[in-house]
Structure 1
Amino acid sequence: MTALDERPTVDDRRRPNPVWALLRNSWRQLTSMRTALTLLFLLAIASIPGSVLPQRAVSAQAVSDYFRDHPDLAPTLDRLGAFDAYASVWFSAIYVLLFTSLIGCIIPRVREHWRAARMTPPEAPRRLDRLAASVPAEEIDGTPAEAAERIRAMLRAARWRAIAREQADGGWTVSAEKGHLKETGNLVFHTALLCVLAGVAFGGWYGWHGNRILVAGPDTAFCNSVPQFDESDLGPRVDDADLPPFCLELTDFEARFLDTGMPESFEATATVEENGGARSERFAVNSPLRLDGASVYLLGHGYAPVIRYTDRYGVTQERVSPFLSTDLNQTSEGVAKFPDANVDPATGQRQDDQQVGFQGIYAPTMPTEGLVTISVHPAERNPGLTLLAYRGNLGEDAGIPNSVYSINQAQIDRGKLTQIGEAKLLRPGESWTLDDGSTVTFVGTREYATIAVRSDPGQLFVLFSSVLGLIGLTLSLYGKRRRVFFRITPGDLGESSTTGRSSFMEAGGLPRTDYPGFADEFAQLVAATRPGGGTAKDTAEGTV
């Protein structure tokens, strides 16, 4: 076999690379407008779980409550990432694909639109009567050059892009087009959508947020740091040192309810220490507190019972324990733990089996009869606290995280923690003496506010992009792409002219997009070319 025989044939050289062909076709499919719209629709569907189901990034306690209320369904949803919808793999995949598709759609269209906007209107076709709208030749005043210039000036005054061209037979044509703003609006809208996605992504990278239950009082003040949040989420480009320094103390909380129990308004007053100074600020549910580098939002409200325990050695300890609401009437559940109770003063050693914890249900308005552990109104009109006492090892020293809102059930099941007597109902100021002579007192309550501290550096950019998108969408809806053509020929066409200088004009036009009103606009343009026809400025009303 010679070297000549080993050369590739013509068919071999023309056969496309299958990998390259697959990549090229996949890119074309991804960057098509149909794919972009499909991905946008899928993104909207993928956002539904984040709106319907509780999210860990917003409220981990709400997710825990969902697990408690739906023990069979919640684990399955959790494996699918439904409680972290916006950080899930499937949401991120749709997001990235949509971002890529929009870039691939916009860049070629911008190039084509720029080329089309710079081009002059095309020459008038030979047969104007074949266009969507047309009028036959009729006599007009002036030579073809004068008539063409008059028509061109009329169209330019009506904001048409118009050009007049002289023909070889002595006649003239006028070509005009309008409606490029429709495609401009389309591109502005899609570019704005791309900017919104970029702004959201930027906010996700450099933003952060944290939630905190802030109880009223100077001893429960909060300073902006990750360890002091009940739950927090920092962006990949943010660490604890990047958080702006400030402190908050909840000084007052005003909650107003209707007689039906529905909330009327929530308003919090806080002392803010920031930039070396202190000031008092008020904020509400729809009126966040704006700070330097962060915003504080009011999410919820509840009560924190103050429980004082005096152990058998006479040592008194006090806990301010936020109770979590279980219904709309603020029936709340929580615990007060005293792991350092009953320390023998002779030895100074803590007895692990003598730790004490109280699990309680608080009702701000107890019913006058019936079940006393259910509140009938969210305001504190007839408060009562029902307590269960436990003694033993609370399990706080095992190195395993425990909930601050419940007693460790595993310790009860293992017999490490035992219940003391029966449940006891206490009014504010009342005490309960336990079997070993120790006492527990329900001192009263403090109100608390559930706050969210957030920073989103892409927020203003997203807002600006959204406004820009609305402008682009308006232009794309009201813009109508269309073209009109006029042909003016000398007046000697075998007919007698009524004037010394006259020409014959025929016209035609076609809409480039769906435009039901084009026939009327075209008729007004033709009428404006006749003597006494006025101008064509009014023909553009409502369209661009």
Structure 2
Amino acid sequence: MPAVDGQTETTPVEKPTEPASAPPRVRRIPAPLALLRNSWRQLTSMRTALILLFLLAVAAIPGSLLPQRNINIENVNAFQAEHPDLFPVLDRIGGFDVYASPWFSAIYVLLFTSLVGCIVPRLRDHVRALRTAPPAAPKRLDRLPKHVVLDYDGDDLTAVVAMLRKRRWRVAVRDNAVSAEKGLLKETGNLLFHFSLIGVLVGIGLGSWYGWHGNRLLVAGEENAFCNSLQQYSESRLGHRIDGSDLPPFCLELTDFKARFLPTGQPASFRAEATVEEGDRAPYRANFSVNDPLRLDGLSVYLLGHGYAPILRYTDRSGKAQLSDEAFLTLDGNLTSEGVAAFPDVNLDPATGARSPDLQVAFEGLYFPTAPDAPPYARSVYPAERSPAVMLFAYRGNLGMDAGIPGSIYRLDQRQVDNGKLTRLGDGKLLRLGEKWTLDDGTTVEFLGTRPYITLSVRSDPGERIVLISSGLLLVGLMLSLFGRRRRVWFRLVPAPAGKSTTDRSSLVEVGGLPRAEYSGFSDEFDKLVAATRPGGARPDAATGKGTD
């Protein structure tokens, strides 16, 4: 190496540079997967479940305020007649089929999914907590909300363990300390409540898929008996997995109906008597009422309402008589009823037997179970048949039944009246029981009496029992959740202070308590545990010199 001014030049040796450590790789989740994960977390959160539960309750309100087709189609038709402009709007959004509407179904499906996603992790944690022993005692029991040090007989905590187990505490013994825990039923009740809510939703879903119902107005009499088929129901709805061939076979004939009313006109009791033919069984008698439905094989027959069907006998020009016992629909609480008695096959040509469409006869009328003694005859004064009468208005002409256009059997076709094809014959006539009215052409109509009728709802709901059991368990879980309180206590055996006399007891016990939730009764419970452990009076805290807490 060349020397400079007598000094030797040295060449510095470069240290090899270490490669800089690479930054940690961040795992990037695809945007669709991240969105799906975040959406699932949001859906399964307890806040979302509570919001959906609130929405379900709000969505059920229209089903209570508006008449529903699956309960009473007559009230739906009456609402349509009273609100012709509002009805199409509400019907379009499912206002008269609330519980079968897509938006209501979407809410409870989302609620079902949210509850499942919310409960499964909590169930796993709760099972783990049940299998895990109570935690070990903390080092500083004096920092707990409840703390006391007391004299103790003996050199182990066997008596304390027995006392705690007798009071149904979960106990774990570690060396010279005892850990005890109570109140896990609170979380058990919480989970039971949510699982029961899922059971209710499952029952509703089964009823929607495999249930069915039908409504029928049934007049008393053998000739008016009906058998279980879709064609004989006034209104029916089948579940998505049911068709008409799945309906169980049975026939029902109304033989009698008994109604009892208070002097004020308020109903006291209703009871229907019927003859039932079910499957291969011999016909048998059955009674049922409003709150006591008729139970058949896999279905229930509910009594929804009742009324009267006036029996009118019309005698035409040739002397041929025909009877009508069509039901009159009730209008008020006193069972004032309106309806139509139509006679399309009267006044036949005596030579050819042909029917003239212009000589058909119908009577539009009001029926009063207890008619007023004097005009105006507008409404009944009592719901029972004390003075029955019928106010009739006669019509002659073409009833429009041959046109093939569907119409109501409880009202005349007003279009036939407006176009002059059906003419009203003078003023009305009040007929009391047994009276006769002679029309302008010599034909007569006679009021012979009435027959009772009932409105039935035949329903099959395979999820009904599941909903019932789940509702009962839901209440049990709610009670456990509301009244359960989780709390913990610890007992630690500590040596006696130095200098104790031989007459003193050999050891001390330090006790600490911690409520896991707000519980006003924990202080009293802790004092009872201390009293069950203390053999004598309280003594000052060994660590602080203060009295017991």
Q: Following superposition of structure 1 onto structure 2, how do residues 27-42 of structure 1 map, counting pairs within 5 Å?
A: 27-42=40-55
Matched-pair contact (CA < 8 Å) for 1:224–1:243: yes
Match of 1:191 among 177, 192, 195: 195
Task: State yes or no: 1:311 paired with 2:320.
Answer: no
After superposition, give the CA deviation of every residue in 1:496-533 in whole Å (9 maximum; x if it has no partner): 25458723332212111221111221222223222269
Counterpart residue number, 1:541: none
CA contact 2:151–2:535 (8 Å) conserved in 1: no
Match of residue 525 from structure 1: 529
Residue in 1 aligned with 2:185?
A: 181
The offset of 1:374, in angstroms, is 1.7
Contact 1:307–1:336 under 8 Å retained in 2: yes
- 1:258 and 1:264 in contact (8 A); partners too: yes
Aligned residue for 1:158? 167
Name the SS of the counterpart of 2:53 in structure 1: helix
Unaligned runs of 5+ in 1: 1-8, 167-171, 534-544
Shift of 1:302: 0.7
Displacement of 1:153 in angstroms is 2.9
Task: Report what 1:141 is aligned to.
Answer: 153
3-state SS of 1:448 partner? strand
1:17 matched residue in structure 2: 30
Structure 1 Cα separation of the partners of residues 23 and 227 of structure 2: 76
Q: Report the counterpart of residue 536 of structure 1 in structure 2.
A: none
> In the alignment, what sits opposite 1:79?
92
Distance (whole Å) between structure 2 residues aligned to residue 449 and residue 336 of structure 1 = 18
Give secondary structure in 1 for the equivalent of 2:426. strand
Deviation at 1:112, TM superposition (A): 0.5
Q: CA RMSD in A?
A: 2.2
Query: Whole-Å Cα distance in 2 between the matches of residues 183 and 510 of structure 1?
Result: 17
Matched, 1:261 2:273: no
> Is 1:425 aligned to 2:430, yes or no?
yes
Contact in 2 for aligned 1:141/1:499 (Cα 8 Å): no
Q: How many residues end up aligned between the 2 structures?
A: 515
Report the secondary structure of 1:378's partner residue: coil
Judge conservation of contact 1:308–1:317 (CA < 8 Å) in 2: yes
Tell me the distance in 2 between the aligned counterparts of 1:36 and 1:417.
61
CA drift of 1:114 comes to 0.5
Aligned residue identity for 2:54: F
d(CA) in 2 for partners of 1:173, 1:188: 34
Tell me, in whole angstroms, the C-alpha distance in 1 between the residues paired with 2:30 and 2:518.
41
Question: Paired residue for 2:363?
Answer: 358
**Displacement of 1:397:** 2.5
- Distance apart, 1:10 and its partner CA: 7.3
The code of the aligned residue for 1:156 comes to R
Distance, in Å, in 1 between the alignment partners of 2:527 and 2:194 is: 35
Report if aligned partners of 2:151, 2:536 keep a CA contact under 8 Å in 1: no
CA gap of 1:427–1:100, structure 2 versus 1, over 3 A, is same
Q: Match of 1:422, SS?
A: coil
Q: Distance in 1 between matches of 2:433 and 2:59?
A: 49
- What are the equivalent positions in structure 2 for 1:214-293 lying under 5 Å apart? 214-274=218-278, 275-293=280-298
Alpha-carbon deviation of 1:14?
3.9
Partner SS for 1:124: coil
CA distance in 2: counterparts of 1:326 and 1:400, whole angstroms: 26
Asked whether the 8 Å contact 1:149–1:164 carries over to 2, the reply is no
TM-score calculated relative to the size of structure 1 = 0.89
CA distance in structure 1 between the aligned counterparts of 2:208 and 2:467, rounded to whole angstroms:
12
Partner of 1:342: 347
- Residue 512 (structure 1) aligns with: 516
Q: Are positions 1:471 and 2:476 aligned together?
A: yes
Select 2:489's aligned residue among 484, 489, 494: 484
Specify the code of the residue in structure 2 equivalent to 1:282.
Answer: N
356-365 vs 471-480, which deviates more? Answer: 471-480
Percent identical:
62
CA distance in 2, matches of 1:369, 1:501: 102
Distance (whole Å) between structure 2 residues aligned to residue 155 and residue 498 of structure 1: 30
Matched with 2:401 is 396
TM-score of the superposed pair, with normalisation by structure 2: 0.88
Instruction: Please list the CA deviations of residues 242-280 of structure 1 after superposition, one character each: whole Å capped at 9, or x if unmatched.
Output: 222222211111112222222222122112222331122
Contact 1:362 1:373 in 2 (8 A): no
Structure 2 residue aligned with 1:132:
145
Matched residue, 2:117: 104
Query: Which structure: larger Rg?
Result: 2
Q: 1:498 to 1:285 in 2, by over 3 A?
A: same
Tell me if structure 1 keeps the 8 A contact 2:100–2:208. no
Letter paired with 1:142: G
- What whole-Å deviation, never above 9, does each CA across 1:55-84 have from its counterpart, x for those lacking one? 111111111112233444444333332221
Deviations 1:434-493 (A, max 9, x none): 3333332222211111222222222222222222222222222232111112222333x4
